[in-house]
Chain A
Amino acid sequence: MSEIYDIGYRHYDGPRLGRGYSTRALTVHSLRGVFGLGRTARSKIMPFALGVIMLLPAVVSIAMMALIKQHGMSYSSFAVSMQTVLAIFLASQSPTVVAPDLRYRVLPLYLSRPVAIAEYVTAKVIAMTVALFLLIALPMTLIYVGELLIDLEGPPQTKEYLGALAMALVLALLLSSFGLAIASLTPRRGLGVASIIAVYLLASASVPVIYGTLQSAGNTSGALWAWLVNPFWLVDAVQVWLFDTTPNALDGSGYPPGPAPAIIVVVLIAIGLAALAARYRKAAAQ
């Protein structure tokens, strides 16, 4: 005769922290993962090395302000001139945010908690956005603090600094939504890195060719649109429209006037996020 033993399993009757808490926890966990915190020393090398490279222009700028009393790199041009480093950071780190979960098929474990696909994707995008934003904002803030302390002639460029910070956030959101969407297509880290950098290079290297061709064909106003193919110049165009800064395109060329670049940015972010959500809906069903 069988008997049911009470082996002491207990119900959990403590507080339930809920959806918001788990999403926040996932965000913080992913953000730490981007910088390799809580992982092996090897995975810290790449993000921190790139972070140090991002700080170099800030050091040079501060030195220039202190020694020869001149402004170094302007705030509005910071992200554009450091675009190669930012693209490498995006390429090397976005797969670490999304690939392991896909590769080891742990997505059902997340989704069996109060985290739904929307929250999972939001957490990952926020983590990558914050990481990229920190990478741009930290050196800029250093330069700004340096500018305040050194006390150059004329008022501090607070408006340009704040504008550049806001645009850094937009740029980070645009880059991370696209970077994560591309990275989530493959569970392989190496392939993800290569795909993101290939897309960035295709965009950035075709700009001068398209621009030069349209220019030589006499289509000067059409040629300006070529700059918008590169995400960094696209966001710079929005900055020019919103904050009236000097354009950072090569050859001293401007951008198409009006709100068109801003609309393109919003549409692109929406496309990136939608692609990411669609990809995860499919991955979760597997």
Chain B
Amino acid sequence: MNTVVAGITYRALLGRRRIVLLLLLPLALIALAIMLRLFGGNDPHSAELLMDNFAIAVMLPLLGLIAGTGVIAPEIDDGTIIHLMSKPISRPVIAQTKFLVAASLMAVFAAVPTYFSAWLLVGNEDGLAAGFALGALVAGFAYVAVFLLLGTITRHAVTIGIIYALLWETVVGTVVPGAQKFSIQQWAKSIAVQISDNPFLDTNVTLGFAVPALIIVTLGAVLWAGQRLRVFALTGDE
């Protein structure tokens, strides 16, 4: 963890237009929760639907994509990463610092709004709010780690990330049930199921698979991203 690198990364993410996108999604989630509450949809079923369809399936991967690629891809894209990499800072430490920055953003912009909007609908009933907030937090870490790695591997990180988050996790996941085992969303849900006893919530990935998978993916992606930075060719590979 290098505080200077962390400070630069925070400024790059929060000082530009990217913050509009980071704010837009959680605000939309809270707006939907308020609308549901006003129209009398504050029952456990619609709360579960909102959490499942919007918070976990849409907001989380998108925020992960924006935060995870946002901490590193623009710098690689416009070449300013050279200034960072030519300093005597271990490159894996740079990758770890950037991961921590992105992870903290996920906690603020994904987990907190998830808890708040579920709480708006059902309060602390069935532990739904806590379950989804924890699921969003842990899966958020995994998402930013994976997208950080993607950002160091390819210049099309955002597009590939979208294809993973949309096509793999939703379309392929619903058609081929086995693919759901390899979906960060499903791991998040399996944690939510464990904590919450909401009757409408259900998953087909066991906790015994989800937790090790989340840990391995997160740690593996961060370490691999550090490795990618170590062997990064400053001249670019095109």
- Report which A residues bind B (CB closer than 8 A): 40, 42, 46, 84-85, 87-88, 91-92, 185-186, 188-191, 193-195, 197-198, 201-202, 205-206, 208-210, 212-214, 216-217
Q: Does B197 interact with chain A (Cβ within 8 Å)?
A: no
Write the nearest CB–CB distance from B200 to chain A, whole angstroms.
Answer: 13
Q: A195's closest neighbor in chain B, by CB?
A: B21
Tell me which residues across on chain B come within 8 A of A194, comparing CB atoms: 21, 62, 65-66, 69, 158, 162
The CA of A198 and the CA of B57, in the complex, are separated in Å by 12
Q: Does B220 interact with chain A (Cβ within 8 Å)?
A: no
Tell me which residues across on chain B come within 8 A of A185, comparing CB atoms: 17
Write the nearest CB–CB distance from A252 to chain B, whole angstroms.
Answer: 19
With A197-B62, A206-B28 as given contacts, are A46 and B159 in contact (CB-CB < 8 Å)?
yes
Tell me which residues across on chain A come within 8 A of B170, comparing CB atoms: 84
The answer to whether A42 touches B158 (Cβ under 8 A) is: no
B-side interface residues, number (CB < 8 Å): 38
The answer to whether A84 touches B166 (Cβ under 8 A) is: yes
The answer to whether B74 touches A188 (Cβ under 8 A) is: yes
Q: Does B157 interact with chain A (Cβ within 8 Å)?
A: yes
Binds A, one of B45-53, B135-143, B188-196: B45-53
The CA of A205 and the CA of B70, in the complex, are separated in Å by 23
The answer to whether A212 touches B159 (Cβ under 8 A) is: no
The CA of A194 and the CA of B238, in the complex, are separated in Å by 23
Over the window 86-120 of chain B, the binary record of Cβ atoms lying under 8 Å from chain A Cβ atoms (1 yes, 0 no) is 00000000000000000000000000000000000
The answer to whether A88 touches B54 (Cβ under 8 A) is: no
CB-contact partner of A191 in B17, B50, B167, under 8 A: B17
With A40-B238, A190-B77 as given contacts, are A84 and B171 in contact (CB-CB < 8 Å)?
yes
Write the nearest CB–CB distance from B234 to chain A, whole angstroms.
Answer: 19
Write the nearest CB–CB distance from B166 to chain A, whole angstroms.
Answer: 6
With A88-B167, A198-B21, A198-B25 as given contacts, are A209 and B77 in contact (CB-CB < 8 Å)?
no
Binds A, one of B35-43, B177-185, B204-212: B35-43
Tell me which residues across on chain B come within 8 A of A191, comparing CB atoms: 17-18, 21, 70, 74, 158
The CA of A193 and the CA of B62, in the complex, are separated in Å by 11
Tell me which residues across on chain A come within 8 A of B39, comparing CB atoms: 213-214, 216-217
Q: B160's closest neighbor in chain A, by CB?
A: A46
Q: Does B216 interact with chain A (Cβ within 8 Å)?
A: no
The answer to whether B156 touches A46 (Cβ under 8 A) is: yes
Write the nearest CB–CB distance from B13 to chain A, whole angstroms.
Answer: 11
Tell me which residues across on chain A come within 8 A of B24, comparing CB atoms: 198, 202
Write the nearest CB–CB distance from A98 to chain B, whole angstroms.
Answer: 15
Q: A214's closest neighbor in chain B, by CB?
A: B39
Tell me which residues across on chain B come within 8 A of A188, comparing CB atoms: 74, 77
Write the nearest CB–CB distance from B70 to chain A, whole angstroms.
Answer: 8
The answer to whether A91 touches B157 (Cβ under 8 A) is: no
Please name 5 further chain A to chain B contacts, defined as beta carbons within 8 Å, in addition to the given A205-B54, A217-B40, A217-B41, sorted by A numbering.
A84-B170, A188-B74, A194-B62, A197-B62, A198-B62
Q: Does B58 interact with chain A (Cβ within 8 Å)?
A: yes
Tell me which residues across on chain B come within 8 A of A201, comparing CB atoms: 58, 62, 166
Q: B32's closest neighbor in chain A, by CB?
A: A209
The answer to whether A205 touches B77 (Cβ under 8 A) is: no
The answer to whether A213 touches B157 (Cβ under 8 A) is: no
Tell me which residues across on chain A come within 8 A of B162, comparing CB atoms: 88, 91-92, 193-194, 197
The CA of A91 and the CA of B156, in the complex, are separated in Å by 12
The CA of A197 and the CA of B65, in the complex, are separated in Å by 11
Q: Does B73 interact with chain A (Cβ within 8 Å)?
A: yes
The answer to whether A213 touches B54 (Cβ under 8 A) is: no
The answer to whether B46 touches A193 (Cβ under 8 A) is: no
Q: Does B1 interact with chain A (Cβ within 8 Å)?
A: no
Tell me which residues across on chain A come within 8 A of B62, comparing CB atoms: 194, 197-198, 201
Write the nearest CB–CB distance from B185 to chain A, whole angstroms.
Answer: 13
Tell me which residues across on chain A come within 8 A of B171, comparing CB atoms: 84
The CA of A154 and the CA of B217, in the complex, are separated in Å by 55
Q: Does B215 interact with chain A (Cβ within 8 Å)?
A: no
The answer to whether B74 touches A213 (Cβ under 8 A) is: no
The answer to whether B17 touches A205 (Cβ under 8 A) is: no
With A40-B238, A202-B24, A208-B53 as given contacts, are A193 and B58 in contact (CB-CB < 8 Å)?
no
Tell me which residues across on chain A come within 8 A of B157, comparing CB atoms: 190
The CA of A198 and the CA of B24, in the complex, are separated in Å by 9
The answer to whether B40 touches A193 (Cβ under 8 A) is: no
The CA of A237 and the CA of B148, in the complex, are separated in Å by 40
Write the nearest CB–CB distance from B117 to chain A, whole angstroms.
Answer: 11
Tell me which residues across on chain B come within 8 A of A85, comparing CB atoms: 167
